């Protein structure tokens, strides 16, 4: 039976905390380490199920992936050097792991079967497979969902491709394949998505250029690349820090600090929105870690007001909408979030799961094809059991909801949180949050 967790009225939250390493950067650190020659030492890697699945897949392909006293060490095989008969590669719940690794497999002369859990097996892979097929990847399977048999080739073709959806996963898969192709592969994007792949390619010594091209940005990687092992420090995940931040905002008298959080501008839309809502947030001690900007974030609770969150902000906060919707329920007035189409194809249909959770907790909310409206500021009933639909962010968002509600909020699947933030409950309890195992 699935374990349930319940959260109840808490506060004030107090303390100084850190969150585990950024999930996006952790996947990439392992992958680039495996594509480099020599050793890559990673500090602060996120040790969560999603990232460990990518590490395991790289191990099956012949890279050395080991935990060491100081972090993780990856012994790479060079671009095109991964081999072996890996059989099935199981990516669990992770869209990032599966999609980025499709770009790697495209350039290898091997056949593998990609599998995942029930949630991942219902997510669209066509958006990645279409450009990769154009480069030479062979795909066996009935449609564009896992399980799929993928056969790569050492004769990959470089392409030019404009992203039809703003997706860093699609961009990254093409750039990773491009490392294996002769000549230049270019991805055009109309909306900026997270640029961790570009930054890390540069860090590992790949030739990559990013330039404006009219209304688009052109990202070009030169293939047949040679990468060398590096030291990588992974900053704290702003998408995980978002839950702590939201918890402090919805509980009275709270004051917390989260140290060492990634503040790459392609990831901070949630924090920009909170500031517009009147949240007391203070960013201090700005610094750089492993080629990425990092800061400490102090959060204090106080009155919040509803805002309009414009569609063009979506890529910079795509994983934060469920928890923003929870904060909006505690803010006075209407919060309207636009441009949410991509939420429909996340670990769950996040627009539907978020709306269902809000409604179950007694919050006045409505959604359309790609928008969500939350009318907040009234006391929140809670007293709800939330269906997480195998979605870690739905689980954590609604545990935050319960911290300010009149009666507890229960989530139906505590285990799913381990996909991205295994220490969530422990860290939250350390700050004073009432989160307990539930038998209800």
Is residue 167 involved in binding ligand S3P (CB under 6 A)?
Answer: yes
Residue 284, token pair as written in the block: 């201090």
Q: How far is the CB of 316 from ligand S3P (least distance, A)?
A: 11
DSSP letter assigned to residue 398: H
Is residue 168 involved in binding ligand S3P (CB under 6 A)?
Answer: yes
The contact pattern for ligand S3P, residues 325-364, with x = CB under 6 A and - = no contact, is -----------------x----------------------
**What residues from 254 to 283 belong to the interface with ligand S3P (CB under 6 A)?**
none
Q: Which stretch binds ligand S3P (CB under 6 A): 164-172, 257-265, 286-294, 431-439?
A: 164-172
Member of 17, 172, 335, 348 binding ligand S3P (CB under 6 A): 172
**What residues from 376 to 435 belong to the interface with ligand S3P (CB under 6 A)?**
none
Q: How far is the CB of 241 from ligand S3P (least distance, A)?
A: 14
Cβ-based nearer residue to ligand S3P, 124 or 415: 124
Cβ-based nearer residue to ligand S3P, 24 or 257: 24
Is residue 237 involved in binding ligand S3P (CB under 6 A)?
Answer: no
Q: How far is the CB of 169 from ligand S3P (least distance, A)?
A: 4
Is residue 169 involved in binding ligand S3P (CB under 6 A)?
Answer: yes
Question: Any residues with CB less than 8 A from the CB of 13 and at least 6 apart, and which?
Answer: 247, 248, 251, 254, 255, 256, 431, 432, 433
Residue 69, token pair as written in the block: 């006293």
Cβ-based nearer residue to ligand S3P, 371 or 430: 371
The yes-or-no answer on residue 319 being catalytic is: yes
Residue 206, token pair as written in the block: 């790949």
Among the listed residues 22, 296, 319, 391, the single catalytic one is: 319
Three-state SS at 375: strand
Taking the C-alpha atoms of residue 380 and residue 360, their distance in angstroms, rounded to an integer, is 10
Member of 6, 10, 96, 438 binding ligand S3P (CB under 6 A): 96
Cβ-based nearer residue to ligand S3P, 95 or 357: 95
Element holding 25 (H helix, E strand):
helix 23-35
Q: Which stretch binds ligand S3P (CB under 6 A): 54-62, 63-71, 165-173, 280-288?
A: 165-173
- Nearest residue to ligand S3P by CB is 24
Q: How far is the CB of 167 from ligand S3P (least distance, A)?
A: 4
Q: How far is the CB of 84 from ligand S3P (least distance, A)?
A: 25
Nearest to 60, CA basis, from 106, 91, 95: 91
CB of 206 within 8 A of CB of 222?
yes
| Dihedral over Cα of 195, 197, 203, 206: its sign | negative
**What residues from 188 to 217 belong to the interface with ligand S3P (CB under 6 A)?**
193-194
Sheet holding 434-438: strands in order across? 382-386, 407-411, 4-8, 434-438
Is residue 438 involved in binding ligand S3P (CB under 6 A)?
Answer: no
Cβ-based nearer residue to ligand S3P, 119 or 254: 119
**What residues from 8 to 47 belong to the interface with ligand S3P (CB under 6 A)?**
24
Residue 313 exposure: Cα atoms within 13 Å on the Cβ side: 20
Residue 214 burial by CB count (10 A; 0-12/13-18/19+): exposed, middle or buried? exposed
The contact pattern for ligand S3P, residues 311-330, with x = CB under 6 A and - = no contact, is -------xx-----------
Cβ-based nearer residue to ligand S3P, 15 or 341: 341
Give me the residues paired with residue 189 across strands: 217
Q: How far is the CB of 393 from ligand S3P (least distance, A)?
A: 9
Residue 407: what are its φ and ψ, rounded to 5°?
-135, 155
Q: Which stretch binds ligand S3P (CB under 6 A): 41-49, 137-145, 163-171, 402-410?
A: 163-171
Question: Nearest 5°: CA angle at 234, between 228 and 238?
Answer: 140
Q: What 3 state SS string does 219-279 have? A: EEEECCCCCECCEEECCECHHHHHHHHHHHHHCCCCEEEEEEEECCHHHCHHHHHHHHCCC
CB of 303 within 8 A of CB of 332?
yes
Torsion of CA 312, 390, 128, 32, to 10 degrees: 90
Cβ-based nearer residue to ligand S3P, 238 or 306: 238
Active site residues: 319
Binding site for ligand S3P (CB under 6 A): 24, 96, 167-169, 172, 193-194, 318-319, 342
């Amino acid at each position: 039976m699935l374990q349930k967790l319940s959260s109840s009225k808490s506060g004030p939250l107090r303390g100084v905390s850190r969150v585990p390493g950024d999930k996006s950067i952790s996947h990439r650190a392992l992958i680039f380490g495996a594509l480099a020659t020599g050793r890559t030492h990673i500090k602060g890697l996120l040790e969560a199920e999603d990232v460990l699945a990518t590490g395991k897949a790289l191990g099956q392909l012949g890279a050395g992936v080991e935990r060491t006293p100081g972090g993780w060490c990856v012994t790479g095989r060079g671009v095109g050097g991964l081999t072996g008969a890996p059989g099935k590669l199981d990516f669990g719940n992770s869209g990032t792991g599966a999609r980025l690794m499709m770009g790697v497999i495209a350039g290898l002369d091997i056949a593998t079967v990609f599998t995942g859990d029930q949630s991942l097996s219902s997510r669209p892979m066509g958006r990645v497979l279409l450009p990769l097929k154009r480069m030479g990847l062979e795909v066996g399977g009935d449609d564009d969902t896992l399980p799929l048999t993928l056969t790569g080739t050492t004769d990959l073709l470089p392409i030019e491709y404009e992203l039809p959806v703003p997706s860093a996963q699609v961009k990254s898969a093409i750039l990773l394949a491009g490392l294996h192709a002769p000549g230049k592969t270019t991805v055009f994007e109309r909306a900026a998505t997270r640029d961790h792949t570009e930054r890390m390619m540069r860090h590992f010594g790949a030739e990559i250029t990013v330039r404006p091209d009219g209304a688009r940005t052109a990202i070009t990687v030169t293939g047949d690349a040679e990468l060398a092992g590096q030291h990588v420090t992974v900053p704290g995940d702003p998408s995980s820090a978002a839950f702590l931040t939201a918890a402090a905002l919805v509980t009275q008298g709270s004051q917390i600090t989260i140290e060492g959080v990634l503040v790459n501008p392609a990831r901070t839309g949630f924090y920009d929105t909170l500031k517009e809502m009147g949240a007391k947030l203070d960013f201090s001690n700005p610094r750089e870690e492993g080629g990425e900007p990092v800061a400490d974030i102090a959060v204090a609770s106080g009155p919040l007001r509803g805002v309009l969150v414009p569609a063009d902000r979506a890529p910079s906060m795509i994983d934060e909408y469920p928890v923003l919707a929870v904060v909006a329920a505690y803010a006075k007035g209407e919060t309207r979030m636009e441009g949410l189409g991509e939420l429909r194809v996340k670990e769950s249909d996040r627009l539907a799961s978020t709306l269902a959770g809000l409604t179950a907790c007694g919050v006045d909310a409505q959604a359309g094809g790609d928008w969500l409206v939350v009318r907040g500021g009234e006391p929140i009933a809670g007293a709800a059991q939330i269906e997480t639909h195998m979605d870690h962010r739905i689980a954590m968002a609604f545990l935050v909801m319960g911290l300010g509600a009149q009666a507890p909020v229960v989530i139906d699947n505590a285990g799913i949180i381990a996909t991205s933030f295994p220490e969530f409950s422990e860290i939250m309890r350390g700050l004073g949050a009432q989160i307990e195992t539930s038998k209800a």
